[in-house]
Amino acid sequence: MPIQIYGKNSAIEVLKSSKTVLKAYVLEGSMPEYQALLKPRNMPIEVLPKGKFIKQFEGNHQGIVLEIPDYPLLSLEEYLITTKDIVQPLLVILDGIEDPHNLGAIIRCGEAAGVSGIVIPKNRAAGVTGTVVKVASGAMEHIRLVEVVNITQTIEKLKKSGYWIVGTSIDASTPYTQIAVDTKLAIVIGSEGKGLSRLVKESVDYNVVIPMVGKANSLNASVSAAIIMFDILRRRTIQ
């Protein structure tokens, strides 16, 4: 099923890439801003007056909506093949993230932090939608997305491929700053409300916690993921 991409940044990244665009909808008066990118594309372009555009497309569309095919999702085997030459890949595994805004934010932060891929469960989790693509703000074009059926089985396969698997849990005793970063790594981020599922929590090599001193006992999943990803990036690149 085609995905509708809303917003200037997301649309520009798609148009600059080699991704197929099925159709473009442009707000009347906005065409000059996008013409240089739209003109080389062999696709239908529909220019709509403001009233019709707003009625047809809700949200912060910023004058352009693109209709594109679904984003390709890799299998775990395909991911391992495409990353075989990366010395210290960093994979992020999402265990039941259901909020598309969280998924989009994790994809955006992951791409900025140089992760090698993001694992998304096929069932009981947010999938790739227009909202996810918009929140990701162009990062979708530059990151590997991996779809799997079973997270615990995925963890076991990654271990056999040399990965160390690190879970995140508020009751862990090891701070995230003590993650061993000089190896193949996979970080598992739990769902917004429940955290890691029991089987996943027991399957990882060890769990880490983000220490907090405030009264809130948890962070948004995308915030937690960003803190850990960028700390790994910092420690891997520090001189």
pLDDT interval class at 18 (50, 70, 90): confident
What pLDDT does 8 receive? 82
| Position 63 pLDDT exceeds 90 | no
What pLDDT does 85 receive? 96
82-96 mean pLDDT: 95
In 3D, which of 48, 57, 56, 54 has the Cα closest to residue 26? 48
| Position 239 pLDDT exceeds 60 | no
Amino acid at position 142, single letter: H
What pLDDT does 163 receive? 98
Q: What residues contact 137, with CB distance under 8 A and at least 6 apart?
A: 7, 9, 10, 13, 104, 108
How far, in Å, CA of 116 to CA of 88, rounded?
9
DSSP H helical segments within the chain, as ranges? Answer: 8-16, 31-38, 50-56, 76-82, 100-112, 130-136, 151-160, 198-203, 221-237
| Position 40 pLDDT exceeds 90 | no
Residue 65: other Cβ atoms inside 10 A: 24
How far, in Å, CA of 191 to CA of 189, rounded?
7
Point out the least confidently predicted range of 65-69, 133-137, 146-150.
Answer: 133-137
Determine the angle formed by the axes of helices 8-16 and 31-38, rounding to 10 degrees: 20
pLDDT digits (tens, 9 = 90+) for 142-165: 899 999 999 999 999 999 999 999
How far, in Å, CA of 39 to CA of 84, rounded?
38
What pLDDT does 235 receive? 95
Residue 72: other Cβ atoms inside 10 A: 11
Query: Do 203 and 165 touch, CB atoms closer than 8 A?
Result: yes
78-97 mean pLDDT: 96
What pLDDT does 223 receive? 94
Query: Do 24 and 57 touch, CB atoms closer than 8 A?
Result: no
86-97 mean pLDDT: 95
Count how many Cα atoms sit within 13 Å of the Cα of residue 174 in the half-sphere of its side chain: 13
| Position 227 pLDDT exceeds 90 | yes
Q: Mapping DSSP to helix (H, G, I), strand (E, B) and coil, where does residue 59 land?
A: coil
- Taken in order of first residue, the domains within the chain and their CATH numbers are 3-68 (3.30.1330.30), 76-237 (3.40.1280.10)
pLDDT digits (tens, 9 = 90+) for 184-208: 999 999 987 788 999 999 999 999 9
| Position 16 pLDDT exceeds 60 | yes
Instruction: Give the full edge-to-edge strand order of the sheet including 23-27.
Output: 3-6, 64-68, 23-27, 45-48
Query: Do 189 and 211 touch, CB atoms closer than 8 A?
Result: no
